[in-house]
Amino acid sequence: MLMARQKTGGYIDAEAYRQLRAQVSTRKADLMEVRCPGCQGALIFKNGQQKIPHFAHRQQQDCQLFSEGETAEHLAGKRFLQRILPAEAQMEAYLPHLQQRPDLLWQRLAVEFQCSSLSQARFQERTTNYQAHGYQPWWLLGKQFLPLDSRSRWPSLTRSCVQESPQGLELWGLLAQEEELLYFYALDWHYRFGSSYQIQSLKPQDCLFTGLFRLGSRGESQSNPWQISEYKWYLQRGLASQSKRLLHLQGLCYQKRGNLLDLPDWCYLPGQHQFLLEQELLLLRFLTQTKGGATWEQWHEEVDQLISWPYPLVDKKTVLRQVYQESRRLAEE
């Protein structure tokens, strides 16, 4: 951790502590005692060669807010973010009413740099807790979670950090050692190539914070040829190879007397929310047909429970409404 609670009750930054320690005489060493802002346990100061100056618990203990063994990547990332955020941003600010501690807090923006494993349940809990209390979470991913290889499947945590903006879907990453922000945009999905994106690299001199969230449209997604017959062949191969995801969708279609390989042609066209839904878009479109003249409310009540939603930063109801409207339009063309 980079912030500690002083004996006097105030807080001190690790770098400021390093400078102060060099000035304090041995006789006043007790003034340098610091404690964890979360559990109030005793801390020690570390100033080694591998990591930047930081604090750690004197004894291994169960602290709900500060984990042991904080990586050099995480410490360096927080320092970098502190530099590009406005000066009044608070490092490791404890929010007692949430019992959470974002890496940095600026007004209602809770900044989280995630470079270690985090369960889907815990990520959802932390994100929805911020949102329920009026905070806007800004998640940035560390190197191991970044989709730098466009051919690899995205980890679940990576997908969960996708967020909405006026420019569309986006994802943020941070290469701490290189001091480089990565902005992923124009997110898309193709049955042959999987998830795709465009990426912009931002160095410190480019990171004028007030402009970070107004990067503007950076072009359309790179469209790959999409053919209905080829998509159906892809689905057929997936079912033949016992793809759990496709078999689950096929089972849901069977329950409604349908077949994933025998839907109206318009169901196989690419859609506005292809990245978020991938093959699940087929099921949603099919269900607009089985419900006939069902209203939006009736259709939504049926499909809402069928589609899992690992995107707490994207409004599910808005996406489903747009899918419903798009499906109605395509069916009538």
Give the rounded percent of residues in the chain with a pLDDT score beyond 90: 50
Q: What is the pLDDT of residue 223?
A: 64
pLDDT in tens, 65-97: 565 557 888 888 988 998 888 888 988 888 989
pLDDT in tens, 166-205: 888 999 999 998 989 999 999 999 999 899 999 988 876 6
What's the 3-state SS for the chain?
A: CCEEEECCCCEEEHHHHHHHHCCCCHHHHHHHCEECCCCCCEEEEECCCCCCCEEEECCCCCCCCCCCCCCHHHHHHHHHHHHHCCCCCEECCCECCCCECCCEEECCEEEEEECCCCCHHHHHHHHHHHHHCCCEEEEEECHHHCCCCCCCCCCHHHHHCCEEECCEEEEEEEECCCCEEEEEEEEEEECCCEEEEEEEEECHHHCCHHHHCCCCCCCCCCCCCCCHHHHHHHHHHHHHCCCHHHHHHHHHHHHCCCCCCCCCHHHHCCCCCHHHHCCHHHHHHHHHHHCCCCCHHHHHHHHCCCCCCCCCCCCHHHHHHHHHHHHHHHHHC
pLDDT in tens, 194-248: 999 999 888 766 555 555 555 544 445 556 789 999 999 999 999 999 999 999 9
Q: Exposure of 10 by Cβ count < 10 A (0-12 exposed, 13-18 middle, 19+ buried)?
A: exposed
Gap between the terminal Cα atoms of the chain: 58
CA atoms within 13 A on the CB side of 119: 3
Residue 147 or 149, more confident: 147
The residue-averaged pLDDT of 241-258 equals 94
The model scores a pTM over 0.85: no
Q: Exposure of 155 by Cβ count < 10 A (0-12 exposed, 13-18 middle, 19+ buried)?
A: middle
